[in-house]
Amino acid sequence: MQALVEARDADSYGGRLEGSFLSFEELVEEMTSKRQDIKAFAFKTKAMLLKMEQKVQLARKRELINWHLASHGVPKSLHCLCLKLAEEYAMSAMARSRLPPPEHVSRLADPSFHHVVLLTDNVLAASVVISSAVENAVNPEILVFHIVTDKKTYAPMHAWFAINSIKSAVVEVKGLHQYDWSDEVNVGVKQMMEIHHLIWSHNYNNLKEEDFKLGEHENCLAALSPSCLSLLNSLRIYIPELFPDLKKIVFLDHDVVIQHDLSSLWAMDLNGKVAAAVVNSGCGDNCCPGRQYRNYLNFSHPLISSNFNPEHCAWLYGMNVFDLEAWRQTNVTAKYQKWLKLVSMSSNLDSIN
């Protein structure tokens, strides 16, 4: 009994875990062959149990992460609908018909129309957004929808809107592979994605057991969402380059449903500002909980604390109005790239929570 108590209370035993046994049978065989005393048996038993407990905890953490990644990470282009639409695109001339029709091409850059942009690889979600916007529009004929998607989803997305045409409104579907990027944009996008991958890897490799306590793991898993590595999500900062001929747009995320006419957004005067956005709720002590700068950045870093206010709220990007002319004049994209590099490189990603 004294040996078991000593084994329990030993504080300096942590370094022996590497030599612990994988099974109780191995331990008994070792103790029998070397005729070791009960104290050694107690210490080695504890080491084996601690190692097994660590393996169980690690397995639980990995299981939680893998379930999360699996549930969010299946490419939309591999869904049954997308596969069927891709086949339709290959077999049917109608599914490959031009979007928009030739007689409506001039509307794509016409400032007298209301231009709505979606960056998505989700066919059904894009259809819901556009259908709900048209359904609730007072004058749907002035709406022009610009859908940007990736190369894998281009054929299914095009086929869907070619076969299921939207009455009155104009829909354009364009794949990223159809853009003629400048070298400057190519380099910028590549660097941006590399930094995003570093941030994701940093979050993944620095997960701690306490991060998975009840009620606290949601933020950890949100930081590991595959959407954090999505090129389409990251390209939002390059919207002026995606639409060089447009001066103003309404940007919609693919998880929204429109319930009112969008024309009031288009008529909004931004007074020279780049963006109009939505905040969570009225301000106060609980203003936009979980979406303040303090929830995203480490204000112990002097670079962050000297340039940002931890109390400021991050805006929601589900619905935005962008003045692309003001964006270009203030060069928001370059400033974003600058801060992304500074935050990630100056502290080796330690300023990212």
CB–CB of 291/314 below 8 Å?
A: yes
- Looking at residue 226, its amino acid is P
Sheet holding 114-119, edge to edge: 170-175, 143-149, 114-119, 248-252, 316-323, 275-278
- Looking at residue 166, its amino acid is I
In this prediction, residue 222 carries a pLDDT of 64
In this prediction, residue 256 carries a pLDDT of 93
Token readout for 12 is 């300096």
CB–CB of 52/24 below 8 Å?
A: no
**CATH hierarchy code of domain 76-279+315-353:** 3.90.550
Candidates 276, 274, 280, 264; CA nearest to 325 is 274
In this prediction, residue 223 carries a pLDDT of 62
Residues of the chain with pLDDT under 50: 1-18, 214-215, 350-353
In this prediction, residue 149 carries a pLDDT of 96
In this prediction, residue 271 carries a pLDDT of 92
Taking the C-alpha atoms of residue 113 and residue 102, their distance in angstroms, rounded to an integer, is 17
Alpha helices in 74-122 (DSSP H): 80-91
Q: Is 199 helix (H, G, I), strand (E, B) or coil?
A: helix
